[in-house]
Chains A and B, each alone.
Chain A
């Protein structure tokens, strides 16, 4: 019986050369990110909201474009890594082996920490600069603004003289009206602005809290009673825009909007002068209270100070404007 010869030991399987996954992922990411950023910058940016109607709007458009350019590579990296892992490191039939155990990698950790820190700190610096440079970025800065718009403070506005146009926005349930102190304090239910002009909005309210939001102008400021909330912008483009209330203010909050227009400085001047003359002639200017940064609705100058109840004024339950809440202590309304 012939003895069986023992089997020859199997030759060790040749070690499979792992490709440089990191380099591959980086290359794919770099190409896609460059393509995405170029598309965002050259195709998407000009169409991004809120547009280019004012300095604050164009700064906001620029901010959104920068954020998109910065965010796109991050998103693409996540997607590329995810897709690469699904395809290259997927489970294959017959492969029951464990993957390599995970170890720390100082280079990857350092890269991650440095990259995320640079992004976050960069955004912090960028955001701060973009808040300061366009004079508060179109947001309400309160009664004492820190960042002011450049221009000339005048009592009478002149077209083309870089004078700051002061526009008082008055919120009331449920409409905005606009006063122009440089035109005799005339008031309008329509908002007209001259082009290429620095604008100072002084936003206030006569009753509850409203919010003046002219989206296409890149301006948004809360309208609080007894508060002068200042927001700046500079008009850059002719056109129409919508003004909405952005603070829930009662039943008709959703209907509290109107349209405004940016017109040429000469057209604006003609409109404002004509309206001032009309209001002067028909007695509206005399009927309005003297221009003030805020108004106390319980004071009617023509009827005397601190009017709570005036004899003879007996409409609406016989009392003037109620206090903050009927029935509360000190409320002058409750009988």
Chain B
């Protein structure tokens, strides 16, 4: 083979390798993380407080991964659900979270996460609903046992703030038969739970990771792959800004 031909082959091989690397980067980073939008709650903060509304669902019918569990964040301006796990809140502020639990229960791998930690008062308020009707009064609790009666769908945890909150599910019976089949779920849609709690953001800006501690990535190693390791599904960031 002549020198120019060898040079051309080398050049083509080099370009192919670079193109492959670029594809991998775009596919895995750009495709999964780069297009995830951030919901901005900062303009809605008032009197040192801000209201954040989230929901978790057993599926993601709005994405190319319909069988993945996921979180949604409600846009405070339009009240539309955004398929993301990124949101920003002001620093040194009380965050009042309303969390809709549309997914059924799954036992915690470590039932220690049944305990509510890091919220103001160390408690959460929980109420279960069926087609918009409450199934009982709202109750305040420090523990939502994920084992004994299967009441936990997922968890919402910001480890850097020592915030660990089990997210109530509709309960075993309703979980078995009445879960929403589409996402984002709506109150008119079968069974769900509503959970409310508050916590404070730090007095400095930060990018705080949050995650779910239930291994709900079915079909992946130890249940912690797939949606558990993909931004926009079961893990994300809370940006604390000025």
Q: Interface of A with B (CB < 8 Å)? A: 170, 172-175, 177, 187, 189-190, 206-208, 250-252, 255, 258, 279, 282-284, 287-289, 297, 300-303, 307, 310-322, 324-327, 333-334
Contacts and interface: CB of A to CB of B under 8 A. Distances in A.
Interface stretch (B3-11, B40-48, B195-203, B206-214): B206-214
Given A190-B162, A314-B175, A314-B179, A207 B109 contact: yes
Interface of B: 58, 67, 69, 103-107, 109-112, 114-115, 117, 142-143, 145-148, 150, 153-154, 157, 159, 162, 164, 169, 172-173, 175-176, 179, 209, 211, 213-225, 228-229, 235
B110 A172 contact: yes
Secondary structure dominating the interface of A: loop
16 contacts: A250-B225, A250-B229, A252-B209, A284-B114, A284-B115, A287-B114, A287-B143, A312-B175, A313-B105, A313-B106, A314-B176, A315-B69, A315-B169, A316-B218, A322-B222, A324-B221
Given A303-B148, A321-B222, 10 more contacts: A173-B228, A177-B110, A207-B224, A251-B229, A279-B115, A287-B115, A289-B111, A310-B107, A316-B103, A322-B223
B107 A287 contact: no
A258 B106 CA distance: 26
For the residues of B in contact with A, the DSSP-based class is: loop
Contacts of A310: 107, 150
B219 A315 contact: no
Contacts of B111: 287-289
Nearest to B58: A315
Contacts of A318: 218
B222 A287 contact: no
A335 to B, nearest CB: 9
A317 to B, nearest CB: 3
Given A252-B211, A287-B148, A313 B175 contact: yes
A190 B154 CA distance: 22
B215 A316 contact: yes
Contacts of B162: 189-190
Contacts of A289: 111
A307 B107 contact: yes
B117 to A, nearest CB: 7
